[in-house]
Structure 1
Amino acid sequence: MKVSISMYSLNSTIQKEGWGIKEFLDFAKESNVDGVELLDIYWDNEDEEIDWAYDYVKKQNLVVSAYDITNDFVKDSERERQQEVQKVIDSVFTAKKLGTNVVRVFCGDLKEGYTYEDGKDWIIDGLKEAAKVAEKEQVYLAIENHGLLAGRSEQVQEIIKSVDSHYVRSTFDTGNFLLVHESPTEAFKRLKQDIVHVHFKDFRTKAEGEDIKGFKSLEGVELIGVVPGDGQVDLDEIVSGLKENQYDGWLSIEYEGKDDAKESNLEAVRRLRQLLQ
């Protein structure tokens, strides 16, 4: 297994210090990782930057582990949903230009008046259409268990089975299952055959009276992002399970805590390397 770091893992530093892709890649080079995960939200001008970004990644002796997009198939109109499909299709070609065969995709966001059942067919139809291109280009569309609409393992599994494409699989986010009150280890048992990409993440429950804003779960519990190993995810068991399953893909750190992101990511890399030994 190879160790990567997501650019989103440094989001607080990016916002605070005005980092761009170059500064992130400079940091990654010094972080003892094998690859980097890039996101669509950080381009200033994708067409102008993409070739430079690919060359700079190589210059830092790294590779792009995955390319992440922020799509949402749960939209009111057919026109809007088609725009989201096109976003996924376009990302397949961006990923290839960056030298990766993994695109992290979302299903859709929880919105007032919509349930998973309401949006399920839109998600499946959108991924089926995008998968036609992904199959031709041999690029995986890896569904992250993200958000509160389709964040449970049985929902992700149902979508993958319904789309029925070898190139629609799972980005297994170790922490996000806690937001929908599911055990990450139980979720792993259900999705382990579908995993092509892993987000290495951890959360803890916010303490009573603690003056810090966390992420609200489906039942309103606040969770705080922490360095992997300091929270409620049994990362040892998940890494052991990945080894047993002969997973040879990427483990990509995605820190979402409030402490210094640079220090927290360096510690996360150290811990993950230790787990993999």
Structure 2
Amino acid sequence: MKLGMSSYSFRPLLANGGLTIESMFDWMSNNGAEHLEIATFSFSQPGHEAEYDLVADAETLGRIRAETARTGIPISGICMGAKFAFVDDAERRAQIDQVKRHVELCNRLEVGFLRHDVVLWSQRLTSAADFEDNFSGIVDACQEIADFAAGQGVTTSVEDHGFFMNGSGRVQRLLHAVDRPNFKFTVDVGNFLCVDEDAVVATRASLTDASFVHLKDFYVRRTSPGPGWLETLGGQFIRGSVFGFGDLETRMILEAVVASGYDGFVSLEYEGAEPTLSGCETGLANIRRMLGDIRGA
């Protein structure tokens, strides 16, 4: 496995000027990160995340290219939002075309993996009928994009992200329906909590379809502790933590990843309330320590 960082982890500092693209790469180099996975909105101006288009941001792309050359830290994948349901036909077509432009960007950057959403992450699943009514349109869009990506040498994927297309069973159903060899699962070990699925069990069930793995940890509470906590689909409350400090069985999750034989890119996604760089540094150290213990056992 190659352990690296998601740019999402650095978003607070990139947004407030505490980090530049150059100092972010310096930090990764100093802390032994083996790759950077780009979450596109990480580089947007605060308040403009929804409309940000990395493909059109030539200056940012040029700086990223320069830093990968300087530090030797490669770009492993790109993550972007997309919505193929709960929009009109014109917007749906625009969204599909936007994802295709990011596929082409992956090809230009020699990046092999693109994760795209299928609905807004905040879209909540309200009924089985709601899911069924929108499922075929989501499948069609993912097939079109995966077929286009195959010609570009890119593997596309969907993540257990948000509250609608989440849960190991729902994502696996989508993978089966799309039925393309280059359409896979970005397995985020913590996001299963958004739909109240056990993170260890869901991770174990999902790894055979994984093209990418995200590592994170959460605090979990049955009742609301106050502001700053995200309410899950089932009415629990979660908040990001340093990896290894929260309520997930992080060692068991890593044991599952190792036991599965997965040997691709793994990204730490830190979204806790503790200071960003110390949270990232401690999280990386905890992952390495746990993996060392597991492999040495």
- Fold shared per TM-score above 0.5: yes
Query: Is 1:163 paired with 2:174?
Result: no
Equivalent position of 1:199 in the other structure: 214
Structure 1 residue 149, shift from structure 2 partner: 0.7
Equivalent position of 2:12 in the other structure: 12
Cα deviation code 1:36-85 (max 9, x no counterpart): 11122215752343244123112112011211111122232111111111
Letter paired with 2:158: I
| 3-state SS in 1 of match to 2:266 | strand
Equivalent position of 1:39 in the other structure: 39
Cα deviation code 1:208-248 (max 9, x no counterpart): 67454111210232211001112222222222222222211
- Cα pair 1:51 1:97 within 8 Å, conserved: no
Query: Is 1:84 paired with 2:99?
Result: no
Write the distance in 1 (CA, Å) between the matches of 2:22 and 2:133.
41
| 3-state SS in 2 of match to 1:137 | coil
Structure 1 residue 207, shift from structure 2 partner: 7.9
- Cα pair 1:74 1:81 within 8 Å, conserved: yes
| 3-state SS in 2 of match to 1:185 | helix
| 3-state SS in 2 of match to 1:75 | coil
Structure 1 residue 28, shift from structure 2 partner: 1.7
Write the distance in 1 (CA, Å) between the matches of 2:151 and 2:224.
53
- Cα pair 2:81 2:118 within 8 Å, conserved: no
> TM-score of the superposition, structure 2-length normalised?
0.86
- Cα pair 1:206 1:214 within 8 Å, conserved: no
Which gives a bigger RCO, structure 1 or 2 (Cα 8 Å, sep 6+)? Answer: 1
Structure 1 residue 190, shift from structure 2 partner: 2.2
Aligned residues: percent identity?
A: 24
4+ residue runs over 6 A deviation:
none
Superposed CA RMSD in Å reads 2.1
Structure 1 residue 123, shift from structure 2 partner: 1.5
Structure 1 residue 94, shift from structure 2 partner: 1.2
- Cα pair 1:201 1:254 within 8 Å, conserved: yes
Pair 1:141–1:206, CA change in 2 (3 A)? same
Letter paired with 1:40: T
Equivalent position of 1:131 in the other structure: 146
Structure 1 residue 249, shift from structure 2 partner: 0.5
Write the distance in 1 (CA, Å) between the matches of 2:223 and 2:145.
45
Query: Is 1:234 paired with 2:245?
Result: no
Write the distance in 1 (CA, Å) between the matches of 2:131 and 2:21.
35
Deviates more, 1:96-105 or 1:194-203: 96-105
Corresponding residue to 2:76 among 62, 65, 75: 65
Write the distance in 1 (CA, Å) between the matches of 2:178 and 2:252.
29
Corresponding residue to 1:106 among 117, 129, 133: 117
Pair 1:193–1:112, CA change in 2 (3 A)? closer
Letter paired with 1:227: V
Structure 1 residue 18, shift from structure 2 partner: 5.2
Equivalent position of 1:28 in the other structure: 28
- Cα pair 2:160 2:167 within 8 Å, conserved: yes
Write the distance in 2 (CA, Å) between the matches of 1:19 and 1:98.
23
Cα deviation code 1:113-133 (max 9, x no counterpart): 783223222211110110111
Equivalent position of 2:236 in the other structure: 221
Letter paired with 1:57: T
